[in-house]
Amino acid sequence: MSCLRAQVIELSSPVKLSAKASKFKIIGKNSDGIIVRLYGTEDALQLYTDDLRLSASKTLDFKNMDGELQYVLLNKTGAVVFYLQQDRKYSVLFAQPLNSKFLEIGKAIMIDTIFDRKDLVAQNLRFKSSTNQDYLSIYYPFFSGTTVQEIQFMALDQGLQKLYKKTVPFNRGEDELELAKHFVDNKANSYLLLGKRDKQTFTTRFDVFSIQNNGGFFTYNIETDNKNFGEVNVELDNKNEAFVVTSFYDSSPGKNEDAASGLQYNSYRTGDGQRIAAKTFPFPKSFIDDLTGRPANENPKLFTFNIKKNILRNDGGAMILAESFIRDTREVSAPVSPMNIGMQPGFNSFIRSTIFQFNDIIAFSISPDGELVWNNILRKKQISEDDNGAYSSFLIMNQKDKLRLLYLDEVSASASLNEYVLTSQGEYTKKTIASQENKDVFLLPKNGKQIAPDAVVIPSYKNGSMQLMKITY
């Protein structure tokens, strides 16, 4: 006899956000509790207990901190905050250990001195933690005009000891860094992948900069076989020491109409870029018919979807999630007001709005040998205006044998929080979790975070206040 356990929902008290720290981000959870960062022109950290009581809050104002806070690294207890002390011609990166109440533990540790303009340093330092949380990779690009001449890489261990510092030549345009993908594996090897579309073949090649844990450096490239449609997703598979690259592809490169003809899945060894697997899965006509609800032509294609997440399995397989996204603008006549009532006849005043649509989700299951096992379409429709899609899309909760995808059924204060539960066999159910009106919240699901195998925390922003909702299954 089995018993289904209902989820438990808990809410924190609302926190009114100040003008100096009007943004927020859930950093994660450690043994102290759930840590939230409030930021803007000043930074603060908040600690919530498991039952969402605010137990500590501290504005970060260290004696030698006159630059921006750069990164917060959680330890099992306490945290390390990375910040800048800046002069006009150089910046010093410090790491300050904090205890469970965000009080300073000893003096700040000087990590590195970067000789460059203070504004460039503050905007371009990049941090990445390894999956096992044992290592932190940091890189910084040195500019000359619009060209990046070289990149400096560093890696730190949990004790903030520098494992290596390596400056490598780059000599490329700054635009090539905009979509760069930064990784550090569980052995402290750092990688920077730079994607560039070939103008002749329309394929995407990634130049891989590899900095080894002994300070060694080499480059190689990996390339897809087909023209990519939309964004290319890259994940680091630590267990199998591989990059897994997934994207939709267009079987008609060079044509005027960009669209996806199918899904392509590739994996490459991190050590040298040698390809391990390469598979393409053309969309069958029946799949497009089912997705659109109408008969497709003999060359079925997908137009608005992008790969959202590639969830790697321990056996080398993957679950790939894609989401439909449309961004559009519209103009409507402005209502008569004192601001436009005096306009000349024949002239109209218009208001321009940006419309965001986050719609259906497609889930693909890939076996360890790169075969498509199943795919499913999960229906949703989210439309909003001039909000940058903040309340749209979905949160992924990974429970190993199943995924929970949490989302609002519409973008409004009266919406409900829904979820799809998707099993590893491709079966799914849909249900309503909570009414926002009953809870007096306006949730931002995609900004939520999984904090335990059976729990997620989702922030709410309503009437200038931030609030947390915790869901435990």
Do the domain assignments include residue 333?
yes
Tally the domains of the chain: 1
142-191 pLDDT per residue, tens? 999 889 999 999 999 999 999 999 999 999 988 888 889 999 999 999 99
Across 189-206, average pLDDT: 78
Environment class of residue 230 by beta-carbon count within 10 Å: exposed (0-12), middle (13-18) or buried (19+)? buried
What integer pLDDT is reported at residue 247 of this predicted model?
A: 92
> Within a domain: residue 364?
yes
Domain holding 283, by residue range, is: 225-379
Beta bridge partners of 416: 435
* Per-residue pLDDT band at 1 (split at 50, 70, 90): very low
What percent of the chain clears pLDDT 90, i.e. is strictly above it?
Answer: 76
Q: Which residue's entry shows tokens 């939520």? A: 448
Q: Does 319 fall in a domain?
A: yes
Q: Give residues with Cβ within 8 angstroms of 260, minimum separation 6.
A: 229, 230, 248, 249, 250, 283, 301, 302, 303, 305
- What's the per-residue H, E or C state across the chain? CCCCCCCEEEECCCEECECCECEEEEEEEECCEEEEEEECCCEEEEEECCCCCEEEEEECCCCCCCCCEEEEEECCCCEEEEEEEECCCCEEEEEEEECCCCCECCCCEEEEEECCCHHHHHHHCEEEECCCCCEEEEEEEEEECCEEEEEEEEEEECCCCEEEEEEEEEEEEHHHHCCCEEEECCCCCEEEEEEEECCCCCCEEEEEEEECCCCCEEEEEEECCCEEEEEEEEEEECCCCEEEEEEEEECCCCCCCCCECEEEEEEEECCCCCEEEEEEEECCHHHHHHHHCCCCCCCCCECCEEEEEEEECCCCCEEEEEEEEEEEEEEEECCCCCCCCCCCCCCCCEEEEEEEEEEEEEEEEECCCCCEEEEEEECCCEEEECCCCCCCCCEEEECCCEEEEEEECCCCCCCEEEEEEEECCCCEEEEEEEEHHHHCCCECHHHCEEEECCEEEEEEEECCEEEEEEEEC
| Mean pLDDT, all residues of the chain | 91
Does 350 score more than 50 pLDDT? yes
pTM metric for this prediction? 0.91
* 343 domain residue, yes or no: yes
| Residue 200: pLDDT band with limits 50, 70, 90 | low
| Structural contact between residues 90 and 112, judged by C-beta atoms closer than 8 angstroms | no
Per-residue confidence band for 298, with pLDDT thresholds at 50, 70 and 90: confident
* Residue 202, pLDDT score: 55
Provide the token pair at 354: 């940006």
Task: Give domain status of residue 261, yes or no.
Answer: yes
- Can you give the pLDDT at residue 294? 85
For residues 449 and 470, give the distance between their C-alpha atoms in angstroms, rounded to a whole number.
10
* Structure tokens given for 12: 């924190």
Tell me the pLDDT tens digit for each residue of 371-396. Answer: 899 999 999 999 999 999 999 999 99
Give the per-residue pLDDT at 337.
56
- What's the average model confidence in pLDDT over 322-341? 75
- pLDDT computed for residue 179 by the predictor: 81
d(CA 150, CA 170): 5
Q: What is the pLDDT of residues 33-68, one digit of tens each?
A: 999 999 999 999 999 999 999 999 999 998 888 878
- Residues in CB range of 24: below 8 A, 6 or more apart: 17, 36, 37, 38, 39, 459, 461, 466
pLDDT at 302 over 80: yes
Within a domain: residue 372?
Answer: yes
Structural domain contains residue 461: no
Contact at 8 Å (CB) between 24 and 36? yes
Domain-located, residue 245: yes
What's the pLDDT score for residue 292? 87
